[in-house]
């Protein structure tokens, strides 16, 4: 099912989609104001300003955070331009493949929090993230 705010069709000018499931997610500045044509409205002053490099993706992008808890804590966070069901599918497949225990999983249309109870070495953690990264990159 496609989320109602998901945009389909041609990508915005200058943008390329790497995968047919990829969605367009507008850019936002840290003050949670959308960036349009490289500019945003400063909510404190009302001025129209040029967007700097301090921006992030806004809805309908999915903010995904993966935590590994045990003797050490490892954290990875990314904003993905894919519907939440595709993100969850990829994450759960990686959990199954690496045979790790899920401590908790929370998902909303725009947020996924996955907490794993596993003592990853740095090499294992990187391999796990590479396994889930293609959904971020459109593979």
Kindly give, in sequence order, each residue whose CB lies less than 8 Å from that of residue 81, ignoring residues fewer than 6 positions away: 22, 23, 24, 25, 57, 61
Q: What is the pLDDT along the chain (139 residues), one digit of tens a residue?
A: 333 333 333 344 444 545 555 545 555 555 666 666 677 777 788 888 777 766 555 556 778 888 888 767 777 777 777 788 888 888 999 999 999 999 999 998 888 899 999 888 888 888 888 888 754 444 4
Measured CA to CA, the distance from residue 23 to residue 85 in angstroms comes to: 13
pTM of the model: 0.59
CATH number for the domain running over 62-137: 3.30.70
Instruction: Output the CA torsion sign for 104, 107, 113, 118.
Output: positive
Strand partners of residue 41: 48
**SS3 assignment, position 106:** strand
Domain boundaries, the chain: 27-57, 62-137
């Amino acid at each position: 099912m496609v989320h109602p705010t998901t945009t389909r069709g041609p990508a915005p000018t200058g943008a390329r989609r790497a995968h047919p499931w990829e969605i367009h997610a507008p850019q936002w500045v840290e003050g949670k104001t959308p960036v349009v044509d490289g500019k945003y409205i400063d909510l404190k002053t009302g001025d129209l300003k040029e967007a700097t490099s301090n921006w992030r993706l806004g809805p309908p992008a999915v903010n995904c955070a993966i935590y590994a808890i045990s003797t050490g804590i490892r954290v990875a966070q990314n904003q993905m331009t894919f519907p939440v069901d595709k993100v969850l599918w990829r994450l759960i497949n990686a959990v199954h493949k690496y045979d790790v225990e899920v401590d908790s999983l929370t998902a909303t249309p725009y947020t996924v929090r996955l907490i794993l109870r596993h003592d990853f070495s740095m090499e294992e953690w990187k391999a796990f993230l590479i396994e889930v990264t293609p959904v971020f990159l459109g593979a």
